[in-house]
Amino acid sequence: MGTTASQLGKDLLSEYQELTFLTKQEILLAHKRFSELLSKEDRNLTSVPMEKVLSLPELKSNPFRKRICHVFSTSDMKDGSLTFEDFLDLLSAFSDSATLEIKSHYAFRIFDFDDDGTLDGGDLEKLVNCLTGETEDSRLTPEEMRQLISNILEESDIDKDGTVNLSEFQHVISRSPDFVSSFKIVL
């Protein structure tokens, strides 16, 4: 379990360094920011509720912030709360040096809104709505939405089953030159 004490143990720090793509300074900074999120709450709590995590400036403007919390959360109550270790996992997957495989794996899970292991039409529709913003006039018409989703499936769905599974997703993503540089969150 992550520690809420004011100092990270040295052994633990070196283990985290070995298990994530973060450098020592980044882990210590993450610990500091995480402790700040906890500071107003009960000292004995080890996990931060989702609302507090979403108040981080790096996540506040992100349309996928709730999905990110759900994906990285290991709490049994499925409420999206993060422990310090979950937080480190998050930062490691979004760090500059993470591999394409890790990033595409987590991207797939984030986009999979109904958690069924594939991206079907419903997932894609929710994805588009997230990307086009909250206001009414920036959304796509149902016609455009249908056209868009059929175009996407035509491009990425290799086995033509109407959904995009993990390997098809990774195939598409690995060809994209922008993905690695935009899928980054830095504290």
Partner 1 sequence: MEVVGEEDGDTEGKRKNGRSKKDEKKEDKEKVEKKQNKKNVETSSEHESSEEEEDEEEKEGEEKPDVLSPEELEKLKEEVDERKKLISTLRGKPWPMRKKLLTLRESHEFVEKYEGALGKGKSRKLTKWMKFQRDFENFKTACVPWEMKIKEIESHFGSSVASYFIFLRWMYGINMILFGLTFGLVMVPEALMGRPYGSMPRKTVPRADEANAMDFAVLWDFGGYAQYSVLFYGYYNSQRAIGWLKFRMPLSYFLVGVGTVAYSYMVVIRTMARNANEDGGGDNNSFNFSWKMFTSWDYLIGNPETADNKFASITTSFKEAILEEQESRKDDNIHLTRFLRVLANFLVLCCLAGSGYLIYFVVRRSQKFALEGLESHSWWERNEVNMVMSLLGMFCPMLFDVISALENYHPRIALQWQLGRIFALFLGNLYTFIIALMDEINLKREEEEVLKLNMTIWEASLYNGTLGANSTAPPITVHPADIPRGPCWETMVGQEFVRLIVSDTMTTYITLLIGDFLRAVLVRFLNYCWCWDLEAGFPSYSEFDVSGNVLGLIFNQGMIWMGAFYAPCLPALNVLRLHVSMYLQCWAVMCCNVPQERVFKASGSNNFYMAMLLVILFLSTLPAIYTIVTIPPSFDCGPFSGKSRMFDVIQETLESDFPAWFGKVFSYASNPGLVLPFLLLMVLAIYYLQSTSKSYKQANLELKKKLQTVSHTVIMSSYLSSPPGGEHRAHQGKSDHQIPPSATSPPAPRGHRMPGPLPGNQRQPAPSVQRVPNSQRH
Range 139-168, binding partner 1 (CB under 8 A): 139-140, 144, 147-148, 151-152, 155-156, 158-163, 165-167
Binding-site member from 35, 118, 121, 126 for partner 1 (CB under 8 A): 118
92 is a site residue for partner 1 (CB under 8 A): yes
Binding-site member from 51, 63, 79, 122 for partner 1 (CB under 8 A): 63
**Contact between 84 and 2 (Cβ < 8 Å):** yes
178 is a site residue for partner 1 (CB under 8 A): yes
Encode the chain in three state secondary structure: CCCCCCCCCHHHHHHHHHHCCCCHHHHHHHHHHHHHHHCCCCCCCCEECHHHHHCCHHHHCCCCHHHHHHHHCCCCCCCCCEEHHHHHHHHHHCCCCCCHHHHHHHHHHHHCCCCCCCECHHHHHHHHHHHCCCCHHHCCCHHHHHHHHHHHHHHHCCCCCCCECHHHHHHHHHCCCCHHHHCCCCC
Binding-site member from 19, 36, 41, 45 for partner 1 (CB under 8 A): 19
Size of the site for partner 1 (CB under 8 A): 82
176 is a site residue for partner 1 (CB under 8 A): yes
Tell me whether residue 40 or residue 60 sits nearer to partner 1 (CB atom).
Answer: 60
45 is a site residue for partner 1 (CB under 8 A): no
123 is a site residue for partner 1 (CB under 8 A): no
Binding-site member from 15, 36, 41, 51 for partner 1 (CB under 8 A): 15
Binding-site member from 36, 41, 117, 122 for partner 1 (CB under 8 A): 117
Binding-site member from 57, 77, 136, 142 for partner 1 (CB under 8 A): 57
Shortest distance, position 89 Cβ to partner 1, whole Å: 5
| H/E segment holding residue 182 | helix 179-182
Instruction: Give me the numbers of helices (H) and strands (E) for the chain, helices first please.
Output: 11, 2
14 is a site residue for partner 1 (CB under 8 A): yes
In this structure, how many other beta carbons lie within 10 angstroms of the beta carbon of residue 22?
A: 21
52 is a site residue for partner 1 (CB under 8 A): no
